[in-house]
A and B are shown apart, each in its own frame.
Chain A
């Protein structure tokens, strides 16, 4: 392979004057983490609401949940980001649209909200599955004790369901981290974006991508380890995962 390897490139100053190339990648990593965390919070909140809607006895609630999930699952994430970023400001009243377009960090907010909503449909499906996997007696016992629907969900169903679906939620969180890379298309310079611009400035393609790859692997490892720990902490006694 006639490729000029130069691993020292990471310690050379980058042309933006923000330190070395390594600093550039690290700032990308930090932006990836920030975007993923905000997106995950949005995904959990919206996903929980919709997931609960899908399990309520009301037909209307079930339909709303169904439509929400179908809407966000049947479009590529990239198209959804384009809709939020390019189309939404044009469809809103002029003043609001202009304000949206002039928002500082618009790619960051769009990415976080776009990826968050995209992932929320997946969280909703997992949570609905988790709730319906609970024995029927749980809900009946709660009703027999005189708990209202809200109390039943708050104190009985959700604490159980969330602990059961923790393993699939872990992989959904990892997907959230990976999906933030799609935001490179709306100009978010996260880890993949920084690796790409490092490649364009320095021509060291493979060093840049290797470093980004290692950072993603490390991020994965941290998340998986943390979630294993959490899983063990909150495992339900009596279930296979529990003691």
Chain B
């Protein structure tokens, strides 16, 4: 079974796989997680703001994003972003958007919906007395959020946020549908060039598996450490 296995094809393509592919995957994951967290927090604040309309809009956005497959959303933004760019900049034709920016915008918008639900749960887990005490101290709404509520919500939800980031890391492999050279895309390009599908896909699977395992094990450890504090 492994007699015709060509380990050398993996060794030869290692620099390409990691310098090009994994760099893309990790950068996309990190930036999308950060952007998703920022927008997600804003959406969560909108939902909890008490203004009916704002809450409704944010709720609709979240429900909408969460009922669509990521692949469809990737296609949507891939075709839509050039037109939005044209509309924003007032250019005469749809602007050219690179593969990286297009997928980054997609993942930020998509993940914001998921992160916002986590942040909403985090904010709602803070006891009522905290914002009440903050406003008794004369803090404004933004000060209350900035110094009292959000830091605690973020900390309480850190394990969940990180778990969602691991899911995001795995989901970035879907940019494959746009023929982008992320880690899986790089593996698949080598696989098709050299006719070595078995080796390359098995190797990609092992790499994804190892990274995700280590990451989720670290999250579990972190969770154990954090939960002692409370």
Interface, chain A (partner B; CB < 8 A)? 1-3, 70-71, 73-80, 82-83, 86-87, 90-91, 174, 177-182, 184-185, 192, 195-196, 199, 205-206, 209, 212-213, 216-217, 220
Contacts and interface: CB of A to CB of B under 8 A. Distances in A.
Given A2-B93, A79-B208, A90 B67 contact: no
B50 interface: no
Interface residues of B, number: 36
Contacts of A205: 79
Interface of B is mostly: helix
A216 B65 CA distance: 11
Contacts of A180: 69
Given A86-B197, A91-B198, A74 B71 contact: no
Contact of B68 (A2, A3, A76, A213): A213
Given A1-B83, A75-B205, A78-B184, A70 B213 contact: yes
B184 A76 contact: yes
Nearest to B78: A205
B76 interface: yes
Given A1-B87, A2-B93, A216 B72 contact: yes
A81 B61 CA distance: 30
Contact of A185 (B171, B176, B197, B209): B176
22 contacts: A1-B83, A1-B86, A2-B94, A76-B170, A77-B170, A79-B208, A83-B205, A86-B201, A90-B197, A174-B67, A178-B67, A178-B70, A181-B72, A182-B71, A192-B69, A195-B75, A205-B79, A209-B76, A209-B79, A216-B72, A217-B67, A217-B68
Interface of B: 1, 64, 67-72, 75-76, 79-80, 83, 86-87, 93-94, 170-171, 173-174, 176-177, 184, 188, 197-198, 201-202, 204-205, 208-209, 212-213, 216
A1 to B, nearest CB: 5
A192 B72 contact: yes
Q: Across chains A and B, which 5 residue pairs bring their CB atoms closest together, nearest first?
A: A181-B69, A74-B212, A76-B170, A178-B69, A220-B67
